[in-house]
Chain A
Amino acid sequence: MSFETLVTSSLPILSLITFLPLIGALVILIVDQTKVKTIQKIGLAFSGSALLVSAIALIYFDPSRQFQFVEDYAWIPALSVRYLMGADGLSMPFVVLTTLLTFVSLIASLSIENRVKEYWFWFLLLETGMLGVFESLDFFLFYVFWEITLVPMYFLIGVWGGPKKEYAATKFFLYTLFGSVFMLLSIIGLYFASTPHTLNMLELTAQRNELLKMGMTFQVLVFLGFYLAFAIKVPLFPFHTWLPLAHVEAPTAVSVILAGVLLKMGGYGLMRVNLPMFPEATKLFIFPLVVISFINIVYGALCALAQKDMKRMVAYSSVNHMGYVGLGLASLTATGFNGAVFQMVNHGIITGSLFLLVGVIYDRAHTRDIDAFGGLGAKTPMFAGIMTLACMASLGLPGLAGFVSEFLCFLGAFGPWKIWTGLSVAGILVTAGFFLRMIQKVFLGPLNEKWAGLTDMNAREYAAVLPLAALTVILGVYPRWGLDLMNDTLTALAAFVKSGV
């Protein structure tokens, strides 16, 4: 048996990726909590193996085919619940993004000294949850993984966070739970609407015309139930206010995951569930989605411009960037879909590095106030250089990852939504404004003598940031690697969605 068949058909490769971190978490449970080094090694080993296996899966993934690495077993026959996993060009990028960002975040987490055992346990459990969301094709399974991500996040923010950590964690938890309750109702609704009753996402998508027979009210309610859960995660205006708070309070590595992966679950859900499954409701809500995306872009950017705290600023920049994603989705074109998914991946990489970099300076200065610095460019040139690179990537400079995806989002949306896209472009200018303002206030000008003793980045920080910086450049110079992975799936998806509306 060749290695290829082993990977593509014999091994349960997706389950392996998903549950390796969980096994790691369980192993950590039996290690004595004073053995910090052992715990860290186990965590890195299991998360690293997940990354490695996902990389192997990526090599053998064939973008031109539909779902691959499928695992299908009956789980709860009475409810026709199946353990159904599979990956296509929409989920594969997110799987790899998740394993990569988690590994990088764990490297950044080596500096955590407080309650190490629990921290690593929760972090690995979180990874399993996130991976499962992107891989499961059965709503029951999907929902289980979706909710699994909530608990570790709650503890990671609530225990290892900043001064207002309990408030932030509770708010995050309640807000997200609020959304997922409605998603659960929608799932139950779908179950009873389908004949025979099923929770299989692929079957439900294929049956979308049968679902239409349930009437418009059903369409709209079920659509909104999912929308609420996903829009809170993305986050789309006006459900975004948990985000700045959660980011400010969360420890660095958790912010990376929050912005890098958790938000993407929302965008992924909209593309996997809302758009293909409910054509009539999509037709109805597509225009509001365009307006909301415009608000996300311009309003998010302006809010970011007003921030004094670097982390809050980056958090609002996420709101702004997710607006581009929304615009790409609302285009209902293959171009826009490519832009949206690619933008989500790139945003994960770029904003991940931005949060890591803000963490670098916060660890040294114990402040994130933009006005508190000045002239650091001469003192910490490497830090300044990498930060500038990440900012430039985030504001969409060509040659770096954000440019092509951002451009495709706008390009796709421009066809159907000329005016709104034209207006949204203003967000780019504001984005440039707040990033350059931060660079100027922190790195340029005369050195603020208070920080004369500041040191440049250390080896651990380089290890976490440099892979992301390298990817930023690679995906910017050669976007083909990202786009070819998803283009076939997304072209088919766009055609499918378009045929319904």
Chain B
Amino acid sequence: MMLDLVPLLFFLPLLSFPVVLFFGRWLPLKGAGLTIAVMAGCFAWSLALLAAALLGAVELPYSFSISWFSFDIYDVALGVYLDGLTVTMLCVVTLVSLLVQIYSLGYMQGDSRFSRYYSYMTLFTASMLGLVLADNMLVLFACWELVGLCSYLLIGFWFEKPEAAQASRKAFITTKLGDLGFAIGLYVIFTHTGTFSIPSLQEMARAGFFAPGVALWSSLLLFCGAMGKSAQVPLFVWLPDAMEGPTPVSALIHAATMVAAGVFMVAKLFFLFEINPTALIVVGFIGAATAFLAALMGLVPEDIKRVLAYSTVSQLGYMMAGLAVGGPQVGSFHLVTHAMFKALLFLGAGSVIHAMHTNDIWKMGALSVRMPITFVTFAIGVLALSGIFPLSGFYSKDEILHAALNSGNWPVTILLFSTSALTAFYMTRVLVLVFLGSARDRERYGHSHESPASMTAPLVILAALSVVMGFLMHGEHVWGKLVPHKLEHEHGHVPAILVALLSSVVALSGMAAAFGVYFYRWIDAAKVKERFDVIWLFLYDRMGFDRFWLAWVKLSYKLADALAWLDYHALDQGLVDGQGSLTRQLSRASEWIDRYIIDNLVDLWGWISLWAGSRVRVTVSGFVQSYLLYVILGISLIFAARMYF
């Protein structure tokens, strides 16, 4: 019963989408009431599922499907596949969605397209839940694209702003680029196996059906999709720009759920990735590089949301690297904890932006006095993200670092530890500049105020979860039970306590350094910036990645213009119409020949016969004598001829 109706988790939010879109204005809270109620129901249900799974009341994995459509001899199913990871993700998605929707009541109040906002939100949540539930690669891909659409619509929600319109298109196209790889990966898998069903594929992988080459190709192609969606280097460029959307959207889509879909996909299809070790090495390096490079880029922005965006990119890289070195259990635990504290940080930032009407951290300062709830919860988020004991980030990061050390993959390990320090540094920088010190913009500061309860309540809940979640869920009995799969390394026996100490030291030193620079001002940040402005600009410029892709875009426009020119001038006007005019010239020539030669020839004959007639006419005189003469002449001619021949 509880399991049979699981598809409703997808269908209820989906059905509320058109209802709110078209009839929202007549509904309570302009439709928000409906979507929030639906989401609350979905969350309660997911939580019950999680509890049941942990208590062993339901048997997992559970799968159930109906036929969607068929072609040739194949059948594509529409179904759900529930395992521990899926159930946890259901809770994460519904919880964050619920809290963000409640938060948005205050944040989006008075917006002229309020109902539409909620309808998009509920469509997004439905698609995301569909993605999580799907038991089938094609359905997963379909939902994957749909969340991309919602992301597009919500980034560009305030489409009157040209930057928002531009950012939405950039996000769509960039992720689509990755999705091309995803699509080809699906073709490879289907051509090879004849099925999209994830449980069947899992069986096949277990039975050794996949040759290492096929496994490598298909997993790397699928990973292209994950690189786009989860903003890995070099496809991360869209995520910082996506911050043009409303802040609650950033919290839900671009921090907690959609961007984690790539990580989730790799975790779900890990059986495919682990067949060929090369695939995991690639995933590990790209993940670690993403984590490190994005953390560097996160050091410089003055826009609070951009810092959080780079931090998200960096943490997504962390998760990917965690998957590669430790398996689903390690990588996806960070996904869950990160969803909580990153959503918290974004909502906190939204609260600040709501109060200050600016994103610029240099115009803030000392807000801890004005906004105590936001301050405390944000600080908890910062500590959790930095990985300070005993907050949730500590547990999940610790697992990843431990696995990295055990794997003996030194480049990845070093990159991850450095990222840890950088993360603590840039997050503390934001915390200090926004909430501590002195108010740098007195006027804005004067108007600032704590946000309404609808906004602070979600902050408090998320902060509480960020504190306790790691402690409650880590370990063999909870998380290990939900996601049992973990990579074991033969040689790695680094003691856990050592890793914990090391990571804490690294994180604390990062925080301390940031306090030194931005709070105590032992070093003047402005001077450092001036001194190393080349590096600063390089980081600010996203290390040239943006310009790299832009060059490709420009190239394609040039190519398009050239081809269109060719198509019109060479092919159409040149060849086709050229052929046409050639035919016309030919017909003109033949017309001339016809008129002046052929026709004149005809006339010539007439003329000749006329002329001949006029000559011959003289013989027809009408006199009988002359006719008699002709007869005699003729007869004598015949006789003469007879005599000679």
Contact = CB atoms under 8 A, between A and B. Distances in A.
A436 interface: yes
- Which of B71, B190, B556 counts the most A-chain CB atoms under 10 A from its CB? B71
B69 A303 contact: no
Interface stretch (A33-41, A218-226, A264-272, A409-417): A409-417
A432 interface: yes
Given A398-B145, A430-B556, A433-B173, A425 B72 contact: no
Contacts of A212: none
Contact-size category for A: 35 or more
Interface string A393-421: 00001110001100110110011000001
B166 interface: yes
A80 to B, nearest CB: 36
B188 interface: yes
B262 to A, nearest CB: 17
A302 B564 contact: yes
A233 B145 CA distance: 33
Contacts of B572: 241, 245
Nearest to A422: B184
A148 interface: no
A307 B71 contact: no
B462 to A, nearest CB: 31
Contacts of A491: 72-73
Contacts of B577: 171
B19 interface: no
A494 B164 CA distance: 48
Contact-size category for B: 35 or more
Contacts of A414: 184, 187-188, 190-191
Interface string B176-201: 11001001101110110000000000
B561 interface: yes
A303 B146 contact: no
A370 interface: no
A422 B575 CA distance: 31
- Which of B74, B159, B172 counts the most A-chain CB atoms under 10 A from its CB? B159
A429 B176 contact: yes
Interface string A429-441: 1101100110010
A444 B157 CA distance: 10
A258 to B, nearest CB: 17
Interface in B536-592: 556-557, 559-561, 563-565, 567-568, 571-572, 575-577, 580
Nearest to B558: A306
A305 B560 contact: yes
A44 B159 CA distance: 40
A377 B116 CA distance: 13
Nearest to A439: B169
Nearest to B172: A436
A477 to B, nearest CB: 9
Given A302-B563, A444-B156, A338 B71 contact: yes
Interface string A148-162: 000000000000000
A436 B169 contact: yes
26 contacts: A238-B571, A241-B567, A241-B572, A302-B563, A303-B567, A306-B560, A306-B561, A333-B72, A334-B73, A335-B71, A335-B72, A397-B146, A398-B141, A399-B142, A407-B138, A410-B187, A414-B191, A429-B176, A443-B159, A444-B162, A445-B159, A446-B162, A447-B160, A483-B69, A484-B69, A487-B71
Interface of B: 67-74, 138, 141-143, 145-146, 149, 156, 159-160, 162, 164-166, 168-169, 172-173, 176-177, 180, 183-184, 186-188, 190-191, 556-557, 559-561, 563-565, 567-568, 571-572, 575-577, 580
